[in-house]
Amino acid sequence: MGREDSHYRPEGVDGRRSAGSGSGGATGRVSVPGTSPAHRPGPPVGSAPVGRANPGQYGHPGPPEHGRPQEYGRPAAREYGRPQEYGRATPREYGHADPRQHGHPDPRDHGPGPVAPVSWPGYDAPGAIPVSPPVPPVGAAPLPPPPPPRRRPVRLVAVLASVLIVALAAVGLAVVRPGPLAGWLGGEDSRTAAARTPEPPPPAVLAAADGNAPLPTPEGVRAALEPLVRAAALGDRVNVSVADVTTGQALYGSGQDAPTVPASVTKLATGVAVLAARGPAYRIPTRAVAGAAPGEVVLVGGGDPTLAVDKNGFYPGAARLDDLAAQVRKALGGTAPTTVTVDSSLFTGPVYGPGWDSDIPTGGFGAAITALMTDGARRDPAEARRTEEAMNHAAERVPQPDLTAGRQFAKLLGLSGAAAEVKRGTAPADSGASTAGTPAPGTELGKVESLPMVRLVDIMISDSDNVIAEAMARQVALAKGKPGSFAGGAAATDQVLGELGLPADEISLADGSGLSRTNRISPSLLTDLITLAGNGSHPDLAAIFGGLPVGGWSGTLDERYQASVTKAGAGVVRAKTGTLSGVNAIAGLVTTADGRLLTFAVLTDRTPDTLDETRQALDRITSALAGCGCR
Radius of gyration of the chain (CA): 24
pTM of the full structure: 0.73
Q: pLDDT band at 122, cuts 50/70/90?
A: very low
List, for residues 580-591, the tens digit of each pLDDT value.
999 999 999 999
Q: Using alpha carbons, list the distances in angstroms from residue 468 to 216, 371, 577, 626.
A: 37, 11, 16, 31
Catalytic residue among 132, 264, 485, 524: 264
Of 526 and 146, the one with more pLDDT: 526
Q: pLDDT band at 21, cuts 50/70/90?
A: very low
Q: pLDDT band at 320, cuts 50/70/90?
A: very high
| 373-395: average pLDDT | 80
Q: pLDDT band at 29, cuts 50/70/90?
A: low
Catalytic residue among 241, 254, 267, 450: 267
Whether residue 151 is predicted with pLDDT greater than 60 in this model: the reply is no
Contacts for 90-94: CB closer than 8 Å, 24+ residues apart: 90/126, 91/126, 91/551, 91/552, 91/553, 91/561, 91/562, 91/570, 91/571, 92/552, 92/553, 92/558, 92/559, 92/562, 93/562
List, for residues 281-313, the tens digit of each pLDDT value.
999 999 999 999 989 999 999 999 999 999 999
Note whether 475 and 492 are within 8 A (CB). no
Calculate the CA dihedral of residues 511, 104, 625, 226 and round it to 10 degrees. Answer: -90
Percent of the chain with pLDDT over 70: 65
pLDDT at 420: 86
Residue 44 has what DSSP assignment?
P
* Phi, psi dihedrals of residue 449, rounded to the nearest 5°: -130, 150
Catalytic (active site) residue 264: yes
Quickly list DSSP for 384-440. HHIIIIIS--PPPB-S-HHHHHHHHHHHHTT--GGGG--EE--PPP----PBTTBPP
Note whether 129 and 551 are within 8 A (CB). no
* Phi, psi dihedrals of residue 42, rounded to the nearest 5°: -85, -175
Mean pLDDT, the chain, rounded, equals: 75
pLDDT at 333: 87
Catalytic (active site) residue 267: yes
Classify strands 131-132 and 88-89 as parallel, antiparallel or unpaired. unpaired
* Three-class secondary structure of residue 378 per DSSP: strand
Whether residue 91 is predicted with pLDDT greater than 80 in this model: the reply is no
Note whether 514 and 263 are within 8 A (CB). yes
pLDDT at 169: 40
pLDDT at 125: 34
Torsion sign over Cα 407, 411, 417, 422: negative
Of 23 and 225, the one with more pLDDT: 225
Torsion sign over Cα 299, 318, 306, 451: positive
Segment among 172-186, 285-299, 352-366, 509-523 with least mean pLDDT: 172-186
Whether residue 39 is predicted with pLDDT greater than 50 in this model: the reply is no
Given its phi and psi angles, is residue 305 left (phi above 0), alpha (psi -120 to 50 degrees) or beta? alpha
Segment among 80-84, 253-257, 389-393 with least mean pLDDT: 80-84
Whether residue 90 is predicted with pLDDT greater than 60 in this model: the reply is no
| 193-210: average pLDDT | 37
- Distance CA(245)–CA(210), nearest Å, equals 11
Segment among 25-34, 237-246, 410-419 with least mean pLDDT: 25-34
- Distance CA(214)–CA(200), nearest Å, equals 37
pLDDT at 405: 98
* Phi, psi dihedrals of residue 236, rounded to the nearest 5°: -100, 10
| 422-435: average pLDDT | 84
Whether residue 28 is predicted with pLDDT greater than 90 in this model: the reply is no
Quickly list DSSP for 51-110. T---TTGGGPPPPPSSS--SSSSSPPPP-SS--EETTEEPPP------TTGGG---GGGS
Note whether 249 and 596 are within 8 A (CB). no
Across the strands, what pairs with 272? none
Catalytic residue among 241, 344, 450, 464: 464
Segment among 110-119, 355-364, 591-600 with least mean pLDDT: 110-119
Torsion sign over Cα 379, 385, 386, 387: positive
Q: Where are the alpha helices (DSSP H) in 418-567?
A: 453-463, 466-479, 486-499, 523-534
pLDDT at 435: 62
pLDDT at 35: 53
Classify strands 250-254 and 238-244 as parallel, antiparallel or unpaired. antiparallel
Catalytic (active site) residue 567: no
Whether residue 361 is predicted with pLDDT greater than 90 in this model: the reply is no
Per-domain boundaries in the chain: 57-190, 285-448
- Distance CA(420)–CA(407), nearest Å, equals 6
pLDDT at 430: 85
* Phi, psi dihedrals of residue 557, rounded to the nearest 5°: -110, 10
Note whether 427 and 343 are within 8 A (CB). yes
pLDDT at 235: 97
Instruction: For the chain, give the longest Cα–Cα distance.
Output: 80
Across the strands, what pairs with 287? 300, 447
Q: pLDDT band at 395, cuts 50/70/90?
A: confident
List, for residues 49-64, the tens digit of each pLDDT value.
323 233 333 333 333 3
